Structure 1
Amino acid sequence: MTSFPSSRPRRLRVNPAVRRLVAENRLHPAELVLPVFVREGLSEPQPLSSMPGVYQHTRDSLRKAAAEAAGLGLGGIMLFGVPEQKDAVGSGATDPDGILNLAVADVRAEVGDDLVVMGDLCLDEFTDHGHCGVLTPEGVVDNDATLLRYADMGVAMAQAGAHMVGPSGMMDGQVAAVRKALDENGFAENVSILAYAAKYASAFYGPFREAVNSSLQGDRRTYQQDPANAQESLREVELDLAEGADLVMVKPAMSYLDVVARVADRFEVPVAAYQISGEYSMIEAAAANGWIDRERAILESLLSIRRAGASIILTYWAAEVAKTLREQG
């Protein structure tokens, strides 16, 4: 007599309605953050060849993108400024009339409190050498001199209207320096810090270099984390939280889902993950060649990040995915 299995997990996969009912993880627009680039001096949005569908925005087109993001119910928008002029200390980052601070003010005026307005707090877009901090005469990033610049940058963005600042340079003590400056300048209660706590020296940042007109000379391995290490991320997160971070981020996402999971399991704060430019471009390129189903791959990649434990996902597909989720009901 044939023996049949009494337990049949396939019964819970039999049709879309059942699969939807028992789904363990879901995507929601409120958990998605849209990274956006705004470039000084543009008269119209500039498409990025390495990131199809992504643009360097003008101030006007940025406002439209922010209004759309708010209308779609996205959780936030992360702003990156691309200046016309750069110098050794990234002066444009702290200039109230610099492109990033103007963009923060523009977006805040457009969306008010309907969307969390975030600014990337780093000097790499503003320095002529492309590094995330001030250099010594020997060409090494000076950690403590950079902290002074970060403190001023955080205050400038807060004064422009940022709800949240994101220190991303992986300098030791960066969260403490920014938190102290914010607190001393009247922003103790209303400006939070999203710490890029575990940011790796990844090969997948390539397309981002085009997006911010990077001037990078050399690499960032002396301050961004070694891809070989995971335990180190727990220490970095713990330090950032002790220094006053309100949320923490793992960047990139795809190759570091184990790190996302370990951070989410260990710490009782919201954990973000950044689906970076290379992750975006690989899927877009494969889909353009007909090798994968584009929409399924996008949603699957985001669900993998959500499943690993991230409660917030930064993705260049945020607006598109929000529309897809709305259509799916």
Structure 2
Amino acid sequence: MPSPSRISMLEAMMLIRAHEEKLATIAGQSPGTCTAVGQEAAAVGAVTALQPRDRILTNHRSAGHLLARGADPGRLMAEVMGRATGYCKGKSGSLHVSARELGVVLTSTIVGGELSLATGVALAQKMGGAGTEPGGITTVFFGDGAACEGIFHESLNLAVTWQLPVLYICENNQWQAFVRRDETMPHEHVRPWAEGHGLPALTVDGNDVETVHAATLAAAEQVRRTGKPYFLELNTYRTRGHFEPDDQSYVPPAELARWKARDPIALQRDRLLASGQLGHGEYAHIEHRVAALVEAAFSYAQTSPWPDLRELTTDVYA
């Protein structure tokens, strides 16, 4: 599977940002959503390093993972707005999206819920279960808040004991809903907990898309080669509130400003402009293309029909 270009990764991050900011502006017109604005490099760098045969489980900040995986922005926005044309016929909203055709098994709004299921998916892969492909691995995304749940330790323990092909990716975004990470954890990183369970582990700059991509490629290859779990921690920051709308009044202004100065999109844009791989005109063209795509997605979602009442009890159980 060819690696994405440096410019395509920039455009993917810009699409995710524009998509989530659009949803934030219409929070009063549709169910609220949890955005991951500021974390785009983590999503794009990691997801684009995976293979089509891999399976993904994610959390309530899933839009970036889904779009980086190739989700249609219109169908994704329709799902968030509860329309019948969404990925789950409008039943999941933003918090429970699954997309079988993309290999996205589930989105869990239960903090750490995806961790409890990742080992089962990986076991199915190891046993060659139906719907799996040889060499596929399971990648599970979660935050530092989920790492403070007991299920985190249970999941890692089981993956190590059964030697399961799980790539654990912790997006350490410094905030657990409305609570600072350092109020709930004794140290800065989650990595030592993973190492304590016997997993090889690495912490990298989660705001540098190229660093994330390279680290995920190497980690996924190790899981694929050994059949054993690996832990990757992406140090990043969520620059919008926990849930839309949220004024972030609980966040120290200086801290927010410091992280905004390390915006992952600006970092990649400036890197490409400085190297001459991207011109200002081309960047403006990308901005225009992304804006048009998001507006088209919103129009598609807004004009899509509501689910029929007869759909209420369909697809409840597989």
TM-score (norm 1): 0.35
From the CA coordinates, give the structure whose radius of gyration is larger.
1
TM-score (norm 2): 0.36
